[in-house]
Amino acid sequence: MLTPQFSLRQDDQFVYVTIRAPYVKISEVDMAISGNMFQLHVAPYFLRLCFEGELVEDGRETSKYDIDKREFYVTLPKKEPGPFPDLDMQTLLMSRRQRQQQQQQQQQQQQLAPEREEGTATRHPDAATEEAGKPRARPLIQVLSSTEFGRDEGASRAHVPAEEPLPEELQAQAAAEDPYQWEVEQTFQEEPLFGASGYSYGFDGKYSGTLTTLQQEMPDITQLDDPDNTSPANRRRLRIAHEDEHFSVDHYLGDFAEPDMLSHVLSHRTRWAEHLDRIGVDRDTLHQEWLVTAHAHAMDDGCDDADGAGEGGVHATAATSTTVTDPRRQIEFTEEEQEAMRQLRRVEVLACGVPRALLTALDIMCAFLYENRTTEGDFSVESGWTIRTLSSALSFLDEFTSAREVLHAFAARSLSYPLYRSYALTTRVIADLHDVLLIGKPAILQCLLGARRLLAVDEVRYVLNDIYLNDLCVWIQGVNAATIDSFAAHVRGIRVEKKHIRFPLEAIEALLNDSDDDDDDSDDVDEDGSDDDDEGGSSDEEEEEDTDEDDSSDEDDDGSDAEGHGGDEEEEKVEERERGGEGDDAHAQAQQEQRQQQQQQQQQHVMDEKADALSAGN
């Protein structure tokens, strides 16, 4: 735990403690007064102060937190009026309890030692015999042997007698006190939490020397190991390397091959899309009006992308920046959002910081809108992690010079980390972003407040609200509407295609398409083989029918010749015909057996061909 900076002052009735504790959750503050001790615990800070005089908890104690100064002001009532000594000795106040306990134990042992000696000298000789039958208290710690460096082996095995047990009075006192007697050593940080050391980050680059110290106690605030000493160029390099490492071809192909799994996510209607549909806004027409109005001041790619959005610049003359009567701006805030706005503190922002702040807001909005769509507005405990991870600013403290960089970075991160990794989903989230920008300042503020709320309930990442979201939510309320409209027109004109993303999405999808084509070809082979077999069987049957017709015609000819003779010759012909009829029956039976064998061979041939085609397809 970190020991916060503090200062003390007093009068006859109270001790006043001022504690500097930035980046804390006010709802999780724990303060306690016990005797001469005061304790404060709120992650990641812990402070314990032990005074010479006694404190009392009688209802006069007070505490408050100044959000602007990030300080606690605590009033501690004294049990007895009068000054407490050594209030300026901070090290002594933080370690006094342990030394007081040691001094009390030594004093009590010294007081009990003469009594034990006196009792031993004056007791009756038979007392030893009586006490011999009583059970003796076992020592809390018994040393059986001891080894000292430099002793020989025999000496190292020397038996060390057991230590005397603690006196019963001290044992009873220890049992009556708090069973947990350990104390964490309190030491101040070598460098203050607010300093000029390291590189800047956060809203408008106004923070430095903060996160590294906090991450020692609360890891995983960002994805950088040493945020304060990592240059902006290295942040960008580490971010890209981390994305490349976590991009999975199998994961992307799995989502690409099963589009039905994302159908409910892609079809979800956000509150901002419903608002635009309800008032009948034509998105394409409005976008064209923006482009025509701001054509002379269109922002170029690169650094000018952001600079063109500066507050008070040429874009403030855009004719589409209507007043609050514009129905697009008439979107309702929930009671929770209104309460969050009332709790925000006011911050002044220089005009030169507007471009950087707009791009940071754009980055965080993309992350929030992804989580809003994939959860359909029903957020979970993992939502804070998702927003932090998908935002390049929150995860790697990255800073951008153009809106194009922001959208391309978001596309890469949305395909590398979350559960759903789909290019179609990424483009749908960007469409949600366009809707928010069409509405303007109210919708942007709602997105930032939503991201702030999800980070606030996270056990670790709530610190990012102090560095980014709190100031952003205050600042966006004072930005000129014309600036936002011009910036929205520029963002809507940026295309995020597969070829613009760093990963070879088209080549990866081609792998799945080639596999499907191979399966189709194998199916075609099976169908062609079956058709050929059917045609072959039909031709064989036709040949057999022709053979039967020839045989029957021969029999008819033989009958006609037999009728032309008379007498004995006719009788002989009849006998010969009967014998021939018997031969014809035997021939027909042989032909039938031959046909059956041919059919069996054909069926076996078809089955073999199908088996070969299936094995080739697999």
Confidence band of 284 (pLDDT split at 50, 70, 90): confident
Number of domains in the chain: 2
Domain assignment present for residue 444? The answer is yes
Domain assignment present for residue 529? The answer is no
Q: Are residues 221 and 92 in the same domain?
A: no
| Highest mean pLDDT of the ranges 15-29, 342-356, 457-471 | 457-471
Mean pLDDT value across residues 358-385: 95
Confidence band of 210 (pLDDT split at 50, 70, 90): confident
Q: Which of 71, 101, 131 corresponds to the end of one domain?
A: 101
Per-residue pLDDT for 202 more than 50? yes
Mean pLDDT value across residues 195-212: 79
Distance CA 368, CA 390 (A): 9
Q: What is the pLDDT of residue 61?
A: 92
Per-residue pLDDT for 297 more than 50? no
Confidence band of 239 (pLDDT split at 50, 70, 90): very high
Q: Which of 468, 484, 514 corresponds to the end of one domain?
A: 514
Q: Are residues 95 and 224 in the same domain?
A: no
Beta carbons of 253 and 511 less than 8 angstroms apart: yes
% of the chain residues with pLDDT over 90: 34
Per-residue pLDDT for 5 more than 60? yes
Distance CA 143, CA 161 (A): 7
* Host H or E run for residue 424: helix 423-439
* Side chain identity at residue 428, one-letter code: R
Confidence band of 196 (pLDDT split at 50, 70, 90): very low
387: domain range?
199-297+330-514
Distance CA 468, CA 67 (A): 15
Mean pLDDT value across residues 29-46: 87
Per-residue pLDDT for 256 more than 80? yes
Domain assignment present for residue 173? The answer is no
pLDDT in tens, 381-422: 999 999 999 999 999 999 999 999 999 999 999 999 999 999
Confidence band of 502 (pLDDT split at 50, 70, 90): very high
Domain assignment present for residue 459? The answer is yes
Name beta bridge partners: 66. 71
Distance CA 116, CA 121 (A): 9
pLDDT in tens, 557-582: 444 444 444 455 555 554 555 555 55
Per-residue pLDDT for 595 more than 80? no
- Radius of gyration of the chain, Cα coordinates, nearest whole angstrom: 45
Domain assignment present for residue 139? The answer is no
Domain assignment present for residue 109? The answer is no
Q: Are residues 487 and 338 in the same domain?
A: yes
Distance CA 443, CA 435 (A): 9
Distance CA 373, CA 449 (A): 16
Per-residue pLDDT for 484 more than 60? yes
Per-residue pLDDT for 133 more than 80? no
Confidence band of 219 (pLDDT split at 50, 70, 90): confident
Residues 6 or more apart from 536 whose CB is under 8 A from it? 602
Strand-pair category, 37-42 with 45-50: antiparallel
Domain assignment present for residue 598? The answer is no
Confidence band of 372 (pLDDT split at 50, 70, 90): very high
Mean pLDDT value across residues 582-596: 62
pLDDT, greater one: 477 or 193: 477
**Angle at which helices 90-122 and 168-176 pack, to 10 degrees?**
140
Quickly tell me which residue has 């890891």 as its tokens: 219
Strand-pair category, 14-20 with 62-66: unpaired
Confidence band of 243 (pLDDT split at 50, 70, 90): very high
Per-residue pLDDT for 34 more than 60? yes
Strands (E), 345-388: none
CA 318 and chain centroid, separation? 39
Ranking 127-141, 212-226, 390-404 by mean pLDDT, the lowest is 127-141
Q: Are residues 254 and 362 in the same domain?
A: yes
Q: Which of 480, 514, 548 corresponds to the end of one domain?
A: 514
Q: What is the DSSP string of 560-575?
A: HHHHT--HHHHHHHHH
pLDDT, greater one: 134 or 239: 239
Structure tokens at 161: 């007698």
Strands (E), 89-180: none
Confidence band of 161 (pLDDT split at 50, 70, 90): very low
Distance CA 20, CA 3 (A): 10
Q: Are residues 360 and 213 in the same domain?
A: yes
Q: Are residues 96 and 222 in the same domain?
A: no
Per-residue pLDDT for 179 more than 80? no
Structure tokens at 189: 């940080």
Distance CA 22, CA 24 (A): 6
Strand-pair category, 30-34 with 71-77: unpaired
Quickly tell me which residue has 């009594």 as its tokens: 115
Alpha helices for 56-89 (secondary structure H): none
Whether omega before 161 lies within 30 degrees of 0, making that bond cis, reads no
Per-residue pLDDT for 160 more than 50? no
487: left (phi over 0), alpha (psi -120 to 50) or beta: alpha
pLDDT in tens, 79-120: 999 988 878 777 778 766 555 555 566 566 666 655 555 555
Domain assignment present for residue 415? The answer is yes
Pick from 386, 347, 340: nearest CA to 367: 386
Q: Are residues 233 and 357 in the same domain?
A: yes
Q: What is the pLDDT of residue 316?
A: 36
Per-residue pLDDT for 355 more than 60? yes
Q: What is the pLDDT of residue 609?
A: 61
Confidence band of 163 (pLDDT split at 50, 70, 90): very low
Q: Are residues 395 and 254 in the same domain?
A: yes
Q: What is the pLDDT of residue 346?
A: 66
**For position 34, which CATH number holds?**
2.60.40.790
CA angle 217, 200, 340 (to 5 degrees): 70
Ranking 305-319, 507-521, 559-573 by mean pLDDT, the lowest is 305-319
User: Looking at residue 230, what DSSP letter applies?
Assistant: -
Per-residue pLDDT for 555 more than 60? no
Beta carbons of 16 and 199 less than 8 angstroms apart: no
Q: What is the pLDDT of residue 359?
A: 94
Per-residue pLDDT for 293 more than 90? no
Mean pLDDT value across residues 369-374: 97
